[in-house]
Structure 1
Amino acid sequence: MQIGEMKILMGSANVPLAKAVCEFVGTEPTHVTLKRFPDKEVFVKIDENIRGKDVFIIQPTCPPANDNLMELLIMIDAARRASANRINAVVPFYGYARQDRKDQPRVPITAKLVANLLVTAGANRVLTMDLHAPQIQGFFDIPVDHLYASTVFFDYLKKFKDENLIVISPDVGGIKMAAAYASMLGTDFGFVAKKRMDATQVEATSVVGDVEGKSVLIVDDLTESAGTLQAAAKILKERGAAKVRAAVSHAVLNSKGYERMQEGFLDELISTNSTPVDCRGLPITILSIAPLLGEAMLRINNHQSVTSLFRIKGF
């Protein structure tokens, strides 16, 4: 299949990212009419011929998650009914990923439900980044290309290697990610033990790792209310950390998250543009994943391997 047969459709969830991907790929986005009826139903019309084309629909399911998910499903259905050859759902941020297991009675596994909806709508392939739980790939009966933000972060983070750096996971579940970043940066790693009080309140109880006088890099896949980051940063500074930064793949900050960021518990929050982020004059650095997504899309379009995209430059 030739690159000329690629068609990129933009959802409304993150238009700047979609346009940046199109610019990297070197093509114009396919024109799509997207509107809401008075009762808020979504209407989609693809205004160009996509019959037999390799279609990529860029739409993270970030807040408002339900609206953006429904829009994605309708766009996939429209592409299927327009006889697209292959429909690739490009979902940089996969909403509902935290509901990935039945950890109490009578609850759903919504991450699996969303996977079923995407497949039923007509998606042939999913391209995503830093799922909350990598095993979510197994919820799909279609190919999933799972990219990592670490490849984007590395060039920015390596300048801190001389600051007596240590990588810290803000909870026990993120130790594997922290170990990967520590290996990448050639530093030690540790973790913070925490106790969740409710959906927005977290209490850090202890630190494993020597952080006194060091520059700490907290790594996590996402932050919303910033409760975990705040609790971790507080105990790390109490234990003598000189600086505390956080590298988070998806900054889905809500009003509580921005409120906490204004308290200045972090020296810097580093994230990507997988979801729209309003920095609001806060110490937030946003790195673009457009080249990473664009390169992956080109390789998928040409039936090439995406494995090399997982490798860090110089490693």
Structure 2
Amino acid sequence: MVTLEPHFVHATGLPEEDPKQSDQKIAHQQRIRNRASVQYQVIASPASASLAERLASQQPDRFTYHETSWGKFPDGTDNIVVSGFSPYNLISGEHVLFLAEFGDNDVTLSQYQVMIVLLQSFIKSLTVVLPYYPVGTMERVTTEGTVATASTYAHLFSSLPSCGTPTRLMVYDLHTLQNRFYLHGHAVASLHTTIPLLKRRLETTQVDCIAFPDDGAAKRFQDSFSGSAKEIVVCGKTRGPNDKRTVKIQEGSVAGRHVVIVDDLVQTGGTLYETGKVLKEAGAVSVSAFVAHAVFPNQSWKRFAKGGDRAVFDRFYVTNSVSTVTDQLPTGEGEVFEVLDLLDTVITDLDNFSSL
């Protein structure tokens, strides 16, 4: 005999939530509230010190920031001193939040060393916030001998000491999601996205069309805009005469629309620029861009700034996930760039393990 689940109905005749589901919902909400009450001792990389200070200033009852001296000995080796251990040990037995930014190999190694010391200090847990995972695109090897740095970074994280619970690595808009599963042992990736930050910003704009520069970006982000009234446009590169690859619109129309192109990161920005040109030529009223991670090596952002040879965008939105770059960007009235602050997003995602 088949047992049917009871169907609950309001007096109005509308379906009522199953009491079991209601209890689960209440329990889930209580767990979120409990997480939001967790207090953290905060350590930060040099580039993340400003974020740590603002974090502690905004919620002093929850976040206590301890400055770190990132010095060097005369021979160039690290001379690092983490505060919070002397004259009284305020770190041991506590939840620790480490704000990381891997700007180059030198600072990356220095930060790994601090993580090891923290995990060997009898802490309760370690959460590492690394908004931009810089080696995400180096996850495959086509020529023998090439180093897949996504794999080597994963080995370093996975080899961190254990404090009894895995180290949580919080990253945003990871270029290739399979990197999440490169971690093993004592580290677990917690994947998040900056798209809600963009969507809140777009609520105060005329943007009525979301465009993706290629199929990869569409696969990563299109679901985030499902249910939206905005037109969705997907572009891609096609091979033309003389084997030249050009950007073309593959799905949707931008004619008469205000468009924002969405992607995970920008380096030199060649494809982003070509996409912007194509959309304007196709009749877009305005074209802006958003990238989660503004890498811009060798100050390539200057080409997109006002007066630059790639100044095709009305607005260029980025987050401060790479603060060493975004701190240099010209912003304000009359400028192209606008930096969206990750502070509140990080606070929210500390308590949310499934935002992606």
TM-score, normalising length: structure 1: 0.84
- 4 and 248 in structure 1: CA distance in 2 versus 1, 3 angstrom threshold: closer
Q: Classify the secondary structure of the residue corresponding to 1:246.
A: strand
Q: Classify the secondary structure of the residue corresponding to 1:274.
A: helix
Offset, 1:82: 2.3
CA distance in 2, matches of 1:205, 1:47: 52
CA distance in 2, matches of 1:261, 1:292: 27
Q: Runs (4+) of structure 1 moved beyond 4 Å?
A: 1-5
Task: Give the conservation status (yes or no) of the 8 Å contact 2:41–2:96.
Answer: yes
CA distance in 1, matches of 2:79, 2:228: 47
What does 1:179-258 correspond to in 2, within 5 Å? 179-183=222-226, 185-194=228-237, 204-208=246-250, 209-258=252-301
Q: How many residues align?
A: 294
- For 2:169, which of 76, 101, 126 is the aligned residue? 126
Structure 1 or 2, whichever has the larger Rg, is: 2
* Residue equivalent to 2:136: 97
State whether structure 2 residue 183 is matched by structure 1 residue 140.
Answer: yes
Offset, 1:274: 1.3
CA distance in 2, matches of 1:181, 1:293: 18
- 171 and 68 in structure 1: CA distance in 2 versus 1, 3 angstrom threshold: farther
Unaligned 5+ residue runs, structure 2? 1-33
* Residue equivalent to 1:47: 83
* Residue equivalent to 1:288: 341
* Residue equivalent to 1:259: 302
* Residue equivalent to 2:202: 157
TM-score, normalising length: structure 2: 0.75
CA distance in 1, matches of 2:227, 2:193: 13
CA distance in 1, matches of 2:179, 2:159: 17
CA distance in 1, matches of 2:113, 2:336: 37
Q: Classify the secondary structure of the residue corresponding to 2:64.
A: coil
Task: Give the conservation status (yes or no) of the 8 Å contact 2:131–2:321.
Answer: yes
Q: Once the two structures are superposed, what CA deviation does each residue of 1:126-173 show, in whole Å capped at 9, x if it has no partner?
A: 11111111221111123221111012111111233x55x221111221
Offset, 1:279: 1.9
Offset, 1:215: 1.4
Higher RCO (CA < 8 A, seq sep 6+): 1
- 236 and 17 in structure 1: CA distance in 2 versus 1, 3 angstrom threshold: same
- For 1:84, which of 90, 109, 123 is the aligned residue? 123
- Taking only the aligned residue pairs, the percentage that are identical comes to 21
